[in-house]
């Protein structure tokens, strides 16, 4: 079920390369990767996941409410991350010209399904 959602999000987003469902402890639940020269999506998730934990804490401390989404645009890749609950997040990696708006929309749309299947 995870694989189906992860693949569908990548296929429906222009410029998407990979998707990943991961725990904040850096342990992947499942991932989907289109890149022949396999981008190490799990390394990316694990590094960003560690930072995400700190963003969650900062947002709470600053009374901005719970963090819901983080996106990072680097020269060679854009990563959009949706926080599912206190344990898991789901991420989409895109080429720089990829459709970030669509990525954000699909992550928000499919989050409840993933969350339900995780619990």
Interacting residue ranges for a second copy, rule: CB under 8 A: 40, 43-44, 47-48, 50-51, 54-55, 58-59, 61-77, 79, 101
Residue closer to a second copy, measured from CB, 3 or 66? 66
Residue closer to a second copy, measured from CB, 36 or 61? 61
Strand partners, 82: 69, 90
Taking the complex as a whole, the smallest distance from the CB of residue 21 to a second copy amounts, in Å, to 19
Residue closer to a second copy, measured from CB, 2 or 28? 28
Residue 77: count other Cβ atoms within 10 Å of its Cβ: 16
**DSSP character for 37?**
T
Residue closer to a second copy, measured from CB, 2 or 77? 77
Taking the complex as a whole, the smallest distance from the CB of residue 3 to a second copy amounts, in Å, to 24
Taking the complex as a whole, the smallest distance from the CB of residue 69 to a second copy amounts, in Å, to 4
Q: In terms of residues, how long is the chain? A: 119
For Cα atoms 12, 33, 49, give the angle at the middle one, nearest 5 degrees: 100
Taking the complex as a whole, the smallest distance from the CB of residue 61 to a second copy amounts, in Å, to 7
Query: How far lies 16's CA from each of 48, 85, 89, 116, 117, in Å?
Result: 18, 24, 17, 24, 23
């Amino acid at each position: 079920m995870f694989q189906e959602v992860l693949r569908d999000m990548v296929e429906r987003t222009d410029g998407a390369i990979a998707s990943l469902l991961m725990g904040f402890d850096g342990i992947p639940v499942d991932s989907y990767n289109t890149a022949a020269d396999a981008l190490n999506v799990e390394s990316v998730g694990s590094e960003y996941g560690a930072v995400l934990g700190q963003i969650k804490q900062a947002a709470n401390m600053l009374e901005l409410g719970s963090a819901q989404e983080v996106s990072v645009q680097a020269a060679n890749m854009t990563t959009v991350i949706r926080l599912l609950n206190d344990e898991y997040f789901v991420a989409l990696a895109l080429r720089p010209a990829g459709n970030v708006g669509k990525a954000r929309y699909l992550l928000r749309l499919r989050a409840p399904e993933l969350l339900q299947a995780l619990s």
